[in-house]
Amino acid sequence: MTPHALLFTIAAIGISETSYLIQKRRAGVRPVCVIGEDCAKVLESKYNSLLGIPNDVLGFLFYAAVIVLNGSLVIDGALVRPWLQVIEIFLKIVILGGMGMSLSLFYLQWRVIKAWCFWCLMSAITTFLMGFIVLITNLAIF
Amino acid sequence: MEKASFHILRVGTGITFLWIGILILRDPEGWSGMILWWVRDVLGFFAPSPSGALVATAFLDIAVGFFMLIGVFTWIAALVGVLHLSLVLTVVGINLITVRDIGLLASALALLLDSMPDKYRFWTHKAQRSPAI
């Protein structure tokens, strides 16, 4: 249960972070940059979306998917029981995809934009933390 | 309340509500065992088993937690959370598990008081209308 609770908590933090960024973007207000002053430079760069979908929305969907898939594994109800293995594999693929996206955004901040954004780094840390949890526990229900 | 402390409280309380909702959905029968006998009798009039009421409670908890997490309608989510936890402490009583609901109730109440729109703060309206002495 512990790895699922940890995944859930980290994904929930991600949900609150990305929803904050979405709200600020929709309101046309710059988000608070907790550490440093380069958040706006990164968030307003041409790399702030993928295929026309803003990165904050992609992040929200990623964290929501982790919560729904992880929640399905924990609930273990009759509806999802035949699909548990598929859900587990899909959850791992989603987290792997998130790590890939975070890695590419990390590279863009480091080498291309040459500025660091607190919220983007926090998202990268939470995503890699989720990958680390999956790697060391293999999502076993303890 | 300081802005950062409000958001830490909001996210932490939201995670707790959301996770409890999922845990109840995992084992509604087990959670229904905590309900006091007289509440079980009352519920018996409306539903064939108390676990049905627990499943509805789980969805309510998930909704409250979700809205707290995303910071939308926070005061309504906190109000529902306060009413819900008050009901839980009434129908379950205070035991080894629900004793923590007192802290959760206080958190939800703090969020409610801090995020409630001014037009609903009737106690401040009265203070403003009172002539200064």
Residue B54: per-residue pLDDT: 83
pTM of the model: 0.85
Residue A61 confidence (pLDDT) above 90: yes
Q: What ipTM score was computed for the predicted complex, to two decimals?
A: 0.84
Which tens digit of pLDDT belongs to each residue from B72-121? Answer: 999 999 999 999 999 888 888 788 878 888 999 999 999 999 999 888 87
Residue A142: per-residue pLDDT: 42
Domains and CATH numbers, chain A: 2-137 (1.20.1440.130)
A68-72, B14-18, B38-42: least confidently modelled range = B38-42
If you average pLDDT over residues A27-35, what whole number do you get? 85
Which tens digit of pLDDT belongs to each residue from A93-125? Answer: 999 999 999 999 999 988 888 888 888 899 999
Q: Domain range holding B80?
A: 3-129
If you average pLDDT over residues B29-33, what whole number do you get? 81
CA distance A74 to chain B (A): 7
If you average pLDDT over residues B23-28, what whole number do you get? 90
Total domain count for chain B? 1
Q: Name B131's bridge partners.
A: none
SS3 B39: helix
Report the mean per-residue pLDDT for chain B: 85
Contact call for A16 and B18, based on CB within 8 A = no
Interatomic CA distance for residues B59 and B55, integer angstroms: 6
Supply the DSSP symbol for B132. P
CA distances from B121 to A115, B88, B128 (A): 44, 26, 11
Cβ atoms of B96 and B90 within 8 Å: the answer is no
SS3 B100: helix
CA distances from A94 to A5, A70, A134, B67, B79 (A): 17, 11, 11, 24, 35
Contact call for B15 and A13, based on CB within 8 A = yes
Residue A127 confidence (pLDDT) above 70: yes
Contact call for B26 and A76, based on CB within 8 A = yes
